[in-house]
C-alpha cells in the first residue's frame, strides 16, 4: 500500500507525514491542513476516542496503537515517513487525577515507544502536541515559553515528560522536534469537514454550543470571584484550524533547518471570560444559554493567556479565525451536523478501515 500523493504532476513531492491520533479533534484538523497543502498523509489511530469519519479517504488510515512498535515501524518504512506529528493520547484533566497511571501510560510510556520506533527508522522530524497545562498556575500573564514548567495535574506532567524525552532524543539522534503548547482549542473546520465530536466533552465552548442546541439544560459557570474583569475565568481560545496551520508551518521550519528545535506557545495572546464566551454563544445562536453559578473547579487558574511573541517571530503564522464569534459559529455549525455524522459513521466504520496483516 502506498501513500496517496496529491501533488499535481511536475511539482516536487512532499515527504509523507505520519499523524498519530489523526481521527481525533485536533489531529483531524491537522490532517486536513496537510492534505489541503498537498502533503501525503498517513494516519494511525486506535479509534479509542477518535472517529473514522473524521479522516478523509485521501489519507491512508491504519487502525492501531502507537505502542505497537512493529506496526509503527512498518508504516514508517512502507510509506517512507520523514515526519511524525503526534496527537494520540488522553486529554481529560480530572480523569488524569483519578487515574494517573493511565495518563503516564497513554501519554508518556506509549510516546516513548513511538519515539523509539521513529529514531530507529530514521524519522527526522517530530512534532508534539503539548499543552499550556505545562505551566500550571503561572506567576504572571501572559505566560511565555520560558516560564517555569509546574504542572498541577498528571495530564500536564505526562505531557512535559514527553517533551523532556524529545529534548534529550534530539541531542542524541538525528531528529529535531517541534513542541507546540496549546492554550484553549475550540471551533471546527470552517468547511464543516471535522470538529469536536467526543461525547461527554468538558470544554467550555463545546458545552455551551451543546446547551444552545438543547443537548444539555445549561452551563455551570465555575467561579465568579476570580481576580478578572467580571470575576469569571479568562482563557485564550484559539481556533483549531489556525492551530492546525501552526503545525504545518512548524514542520516546514523544522525541515528547512534540521538542527532547529522549536517550542512554541499556540494562542492569540488575548483572553475572554466565561461570560464573554456565553454571551458570544447567545449572540451567534440566537438562544439564551442558561447559566448556573457554581464554585470554581479545584486548581483552575483565574487567567491563562499566551505570550505568543515567539511563534509570531519564528514561523509565518497568520491566524485567520482569531475572533471569538467565528470560533463559536464554527463550533455551533459542527455541533448541528454531528448527530447525522455519528449515525453515518456507524454504518461505514467497519468497511472503511484498511486491514492490517500482522501474521
What residues are labeled active site?
Answer: 155
| Residues 156-185 within binding reach of ligand UDP (CB under 6 A) | 184
Judged by CB under 6 A, does residue 155 bind ligand UDP?
Answer: no
Cross-strand bridge partners of residue 15 = none
CB 21 within 8 A of CB 88: yes
Judged by CB under 6 A, does residue 219 bind ligand UDP?
Answer: yes
26 grid coordinates: 485536533
Judged by CB under 6 A, does residue 99 bind ligand UDP?
Answer: no
Residue with cell 515527504: 15
Interface with ligand UDP by CB under 6 A: which range of 23-31, 136-144, 148-156, 214-222? Answer: 214-222
Reference 178, options 230, 254, 243; nearest CA is: 254
Judged by CB under 6 A, does residue 265 bind ligand UDP?
Answer: no
Strand spans (E) along the chain: 16-20, 41-45, 60-63, 81-86, 125-131, 176-182, 184-186, 219-222, 234-235, 237-239, 262-266, 272-273, 291-294, 303-304
Judged by CB under 6 A, does residue 135 bind ligand UDP?
Answer: no
Cα Rg of the chain, angstroms: 20
CB 86 within 8 A of CB 45: no
Task: Choose, by CB under 6 A, the member of 67, 92, 166, 204 that binds ligand UDP.
Answer: 204
Mask of contacts with ligand UDP, 285-324, x by CB under 6 A?
------------x--x------------------------
Judged by CB under 6 A, does residue 207 bind ligand UDP?
Answer: yes
Report the nearest approach of ligand UDP to the CB of residue 239 (Å). 14
Interface with ligand UDP by CB under 6 A: which range of 82-90, 116-124, 199-207, 247-255? Answer: 199-207
Report the nearest approach of ligand UDP to the CB of residue 326 (Å). 18
Judged by CB under 6 A, does residue 221 bind ligand UDP?
Answer: yes
Judged by CB under 6 A, does residue 92 bind ligand UDP?
Answer: no
Report the nearest approach of ligand UDP to the CB of residue 144 (Å). 18
Peptide bond just before 108 cis, omega within 30 deg: no
Task: Output 127 or 221, the one with its CB closest to ligand UDP.
Answer: 221
> What burial letters (b/e) apply to 137-167, b meaning 16+ CB within 10 Å?
ebeebbbebebebebbbbbbbbbbbbbebbe
Task: Output 220 or 352, the one with its CB closest to ligand UDP.
Answer: 220
Interface with ligand UDP by CB under 6 A: which range of 8-16, 63-71, 136-144, 218-226? Answer: 218-226
Residue with cell 454571551: 279
Q: What is the DSSP string of 122-189?
A: T--EEEEEEEGGGG-S-SSSSBPTTS----SSHHHHHHHHHHHHHHHHHHHSS-EEEEEEE-EEE---
Task: Output 219 or 248, the one with its CB closest to ligand UDP.
Answer: 219
Dihedrals φ, ψ of 316, to 5°? -80, 60
Judged by CB under 6 A, does residue 222 bind ligand UDP?
Answer: yes
Report the nearest approach of ligand UDP to the CB of residue 20 (Å). 22
Give 3-state DSSP helix, strand, coil % of the chain, rounded to 5. 40, 15, 40
Q: How many CB atoms lie within 10 A of CB 70?
A: 10
**CB nearest ligand UDP: which residue?**
233
Interface with ligand UDP by CB under 6 A: which range of 73-81, 113-121, 155-163, 201-209? Answer: 201-209
Q: Which residues bind ligand UDP (CB under 6 A)?
A: 184, 202-204, 207, 219-223, 233, 235, 274, 297, 300
Amino acid at each position: 500500500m502506498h501513500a496517496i500523493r496529491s501533488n499535481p504532476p511536475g511539482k516536487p513531492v512532499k515527504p509523507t507525514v505520519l499523524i498519530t491520533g489523526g481521527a481525533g479533534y485536533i489531529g483531524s484538523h491537522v490532517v486536513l491542513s496537510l492534505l489541503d497543502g498537498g502533503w501525503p498523509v498517513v494516519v494511525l489511530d486506535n479509534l479509542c476516542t477518535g472517529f473514522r469519519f473524521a479522516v478523509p479517504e485521501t489519507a491512508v488510515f491504519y487502525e492501531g496503537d502507537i505502542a505497537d512498535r512493529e506496526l509503527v515501524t512498518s508504516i514508517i518504512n512502507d510509506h517512507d515517513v520523514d515526519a511524525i506529528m503526534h496527537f494520540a493520547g488522553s486529554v481529560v484533566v480530572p480523569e488524569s487525577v483519578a487515574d494517573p497511571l493511565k495518563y503516564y501510560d497513554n501519554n508518556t510510556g506509549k510516546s516513548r515507544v513511538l519515539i523509539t520506533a521513529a529514531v530507529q527508522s530514521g524519522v527526522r522530524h517530530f512534532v508534539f502536541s503539548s499543552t499550556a497545562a505545562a505551566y500550571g498556575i503561572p506567576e504572571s500573564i501572559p505566560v511565555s515559553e520560558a516560564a517555569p514548567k509546574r504542572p498541577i495535574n498528571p495530564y500536564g506532567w505526562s505531557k512535559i515528560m514527553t517533551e523532556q524525552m524529545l529534548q534529550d532524543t534530539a541531542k542524541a539522534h538525528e531528529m529535531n522536534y517541534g513542541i507546540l503548547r496549546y492554550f484553549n482549542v475550540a471551533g471546527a473546520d470552517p468547511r464543516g469537514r471535522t470538529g469536536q465530536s467526543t461525547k461527554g466533552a468538558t470544554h467550555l465552548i463545546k458545552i455551551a454550543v451543546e446547551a444552545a442546541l438543547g443537548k444539555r439544560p445549561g452551563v455551570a459557570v465555575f467561579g465568579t470571584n476570580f481576580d478578572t474583569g467580571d470575576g469569571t475565568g479568562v482563557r485564550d481560545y484559539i481556533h483549531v484550524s489556525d492551530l492546525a496551520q501552526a503545525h504545518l508551518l512548524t514542520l516546514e521550519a523544522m525541515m528547512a533547518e534540521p538542527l532547529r528545535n522549536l517550542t512554541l506557545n499556540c494562542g492569540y495572546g488575548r483572553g475572554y471570560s466565561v461570560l464573554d464566551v456565553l454571551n458570544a454563544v447567545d449572540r451567534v445562536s440566537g438562544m439564551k444559554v442558561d447559566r448556573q453559578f457554581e464554585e470554581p473547579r479545584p486548581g483552575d487558574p483565574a487567567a491563562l493567556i499566551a505570550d505568543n511573541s515567539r511563534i509570531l517571530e519564528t514561523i509565518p503564522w497568520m491566524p485567520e479565525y482569531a475572533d471569538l464569534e467565528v470560533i463559536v459559529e464554527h463550533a455551533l455549525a459542527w455541533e448541528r451536523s454531528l448527530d447525522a455524522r455519528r449515525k453515518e459513521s456507524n454504518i461505514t466504520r467497519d468497511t472503511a478501515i484498511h486491514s492490517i496483516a500482522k501474521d
